[in-house]
Amino acid sequence: MNDYSKEAQKALASPRLQASLHTLQDRFGKGAMALWANMEDQEMRRRVKKSRLKNLEHLDILLAELARNVRARGGKVYFAETAQDAIDYTLKVARDNKVKRVVKGKSMISMEIGIDPALEEDGIEVVETDLGEYIIQLAGDKPSHIIAPCIHMDRKQIGQLFAEKLGMDYTDDPPTLTMAARKELREKLLSADMGLTGCNLACAETGHISLVSNEGNIRMATTMPPVHVALMGMERIVATLEEHRETVQLLTRGAALQKLSTYVSFTGGPSSADDPDGPKEFHLVIIDNGRAKILADPEFREVLACIRCGACLNICPVYGRIGGHAYNSSYCGPIGAVITPLLDGINKHADLCKGETLCGACKDICPVQIDLPRMLAALRQKLAYASDRWDTRQHNPAEAYGFTIWRLIITRKPLYRSLLKIGRLFQRVFIKKNNMISSMAGIASGWTDGRDLPPIAKKTFTELWEEKYRNRQAAAAPETEENQ
Ligand code: SF4
């Protein structure tokens, strides 16, 4: 059994996790769909999607404008082609400033590029300041949701963790736990040498990046330490402040059903005589790390319109059962099943491409209606037939041969019907009293490991349809002399 299957089985066997996922989807999945249905401005989603796609067409111009405006305010901008380039640059900034402690916030891309171990190897203490991420860090665990990283833990577990790691008396009272984390983090924020954050959106027109949060930690992480480094995926850009306004509204609605998050922080340069608050140095690291390749392929470009709200996780029937750890990536759920293989190798993440159901719910809930099911099907096509462009080899040649044989059968009616007849005879030995097949042999056994399989029906849909059509025609036929 591979890691994906093992983690999925583990998740399925955990009643506590199943309950958490159910609550999450019941509240946020259903809530987002209701929000979209009742939104006053029904055109907003279409407008934002259009602007996201248009910005991808002009990404080079917009990034140059952003960099110009940040530099004009005294900030430094670095374009990192690879994850290692981004790590090397950030390490250099840390070394130049003799950084001993980094406070982090809102940065999935930091996990994507793997910067924490590199900083720690350099003797730098790294502290997460988002409450959920802080809990995950204390537990030595991994996030399992884009917006709610510790959704797989309940408050009892968090109470035990805090008692063990923070030396406090056990409690599972959320306000008490939050105050304890607040006290610890306040100390760290006050003494940090560098703030390291992600970037929800960057605005080319004004040269600012923005970060949305509900905890207030981002304001402190970006303004209190003397150095702020912001890591930004190169696609997270809007052209104008007006576009920014609408995109943020969709982001916070999709993420947490909020018209606007508690804080929206704008930052784009070091402190100055006019604006004395803030860091002495501001660095914006704009990261490619495989995005240019996605941008160059019209089949997948649309995925770069994602605003990482996490809404697709809150409705996906697969994520809703297996949770986030099975995806083994910084991005989980339907968006993870598309973006992770594209960034990190389609063959390496074949399980993710094949794991989703293609039900289409993720597209319906997505604020910008990204067609993830279409891209999942395209990824499967690459796995079935290989792709030079994506350096993908045929994942399972036997599967491709199997489907070729299947195509030959279903396109030949007499052959198909004869095989069905044989199948109906053969299946009798497997059918149990409940008229279901509950165990099969060999490679087919996987189908019945976790569920029963209905037997082949006595008549196919086509046969039923033909019968119905024949009967209807007979009933409608005008009476002839013979049958008068
Ligand atoms: S694909 Fe859509 S729903 Fe999923 S995280 Fe991205 S923007 Fe949100």
| Strand pairing report for 227-233 and 201-203 | unpaired
Give pLDDT, residue 480. 55
pLDDT for position 402: 86
Task: Give 397's pLDDT tier (boundaries 50, 70, 90).
Answer: confident
Percent of the chain clearing pLDDT 70 (strictly above)? 98
SS3 133: helix
146 Cα to the center of ligand 1, angstroms: 10
* Domain residue extents for the chain: 3-292, 412-476
CATH of domain 3-292: 3.40.50.10420
Distance of CA 206 to the CA centre of its chain: 28
Model confidence at 110, in pLDDT bands (50, 70, 90)?
Answer: very high
Distance CA 237, CA 241 (A): 11
Which pLDDT does position 479 carry in this prediction?
60
Question: Does pLDDT of 237 surpass 70?
Answer: yes
In DSSP terms, 229 is beta-bridged to 196, 283
pLDDT tens digits, 295-337: 999 999 999 999 999 999 999 999 999 999 999 999 999 999 9
Query: What gap in Å lies between CA 161 and CA 274, rounded to an integer?
Result: 45
Instruction: Using the atom order of ligand 1, give the atom closest to the CA of residue 333.
Output: 4
Question: Looking at residue 421, what is its pLDDT?
Answer: 92
Mean pLDDT within 408-417:
93
Nearest CA to ligand 1 atom 6: 306
Residue with the smallest CA separation from ligand 1 atom 8 is: 309
Mutational pocket test of ligand 1: of 33, 45, 306, 371, the residue with most ligand atoms within 8 Å of the beta carbon: 306
Residue-level pLDDT at 440:
83
Q: What is the pLDDT of residue 444?
A: 79
Q: How far apart are CA 104 and CA 198, in angstroms?
A: 9
Question: Among the atoms of ligand 1, which is closest to the Cα of residue 255?
Answer: 8
Average of per-residue pLDDT across 65-74: 97
Buried b / exposed e across 81-118, counting CB within 10 Å, b at 16+? eebebbbebbbebbeebebebbbbbbbbbbbbbebbeb
Q: What separation in Å is there between the alpha carbon of 213 and the centre of ligand 1?
A: 17
Ranking 59-63, 240-244, 388-392, 445-449 by mean pLDDT, the lowest is 445-449
- For position 131, what pLDDT does the model report? 96
pLDDT band of 367, cuts 50, 70, 90: very high
Tell the residue nearest (CA) to atom 3 of ligand 1. 366
pLDDT of 472 reads 87
Q: pLDDT: is 209 or 385 the higher one?
A: 209
Task: Ligand 1, residue 334: give the atom nearest the CA.
Answer: 4
More confident site: 1 or 98: 98
CA angle 213, 218, 219 (to 5 degrees): 110
Output the residue whose Cα is nearest ligand 1's atom 4: 312
**From ligand 1's centre to the CA of 368, what distance in Å?**
7
Going by C-alpha positions, the residue among 255, 257, 256, 259 that lies closest to residue 335 is 255
Contact 110, 198 (CB under 8 A): yes
Q: How far apart are CA 417 and CA 341, in angstroms?
A: 39
Q: State the Cα–Cα distance between residues 325 and 298, nearest whole angstrom.
A: 30
Beta bridge pairs of residue 387 = 392
| Ligand 1 centroid distance, CA of 404 (Å) | 34
What integer is the mean pLDDT of 359-376? 98
Query: Residues enclosing ligand 1, CB less than 6 A?
Result: 254, 306-312, 335, 365-368, 370, 372
Mean pLDDT of the chain: 94
What is the percent of the chain with per-residue pLDDT over 90, rounded to a whole number?
85
pLDDT at 450 over 80: no
- Distance between Cα 47 and ligand 1 center (Å): 16
Output the pLDDT for position 277: 87
Beta 281-287 vs 76-80: how paired, if at all? parallel
Q: What is the pLDDT of residues 460-483, one digit of tens each?
A: 898 899 999 998 888 887 765 554
**Ligand 1 centroid, distance to 360 Cα (angstroms):** 13
Atom of ligand 1 nearest to the CA of 365: 3
Q: What is the pLDDT of residues 137-166, one digit of tens each?
A: 999 999 999 999 999 999 999 999 999 999
Distance (Å, whole) CA 372 – CA 46: 16
All residues at 6 or more sequence positions from 376 whose CB lies less than 8 Å from its CB, including other chains: 334, 337, 338, 353, 356, 358
The burial class, CB within 10 Å (0-12 / 13-18 / 19+), for 405 is exposed
Q: How far is the CA of 333 from the centre of ligand 1 (A)?
A: 10
- Give the separation between CA 349 and CA 342, rounded to whole angstroms: 9
Nearest CA to ligand 1 atom 2: 366
Best residue for ligand 1 mutational test, from 335, 338, 343 (most atoms within 8 Å of Cβ) = 335
Predicted confidence (pLDDT) per residue in 176-227, tens digit = 999 999 999 999 999 999 999 999 999 999 999 999 999 999 999 999 999 9
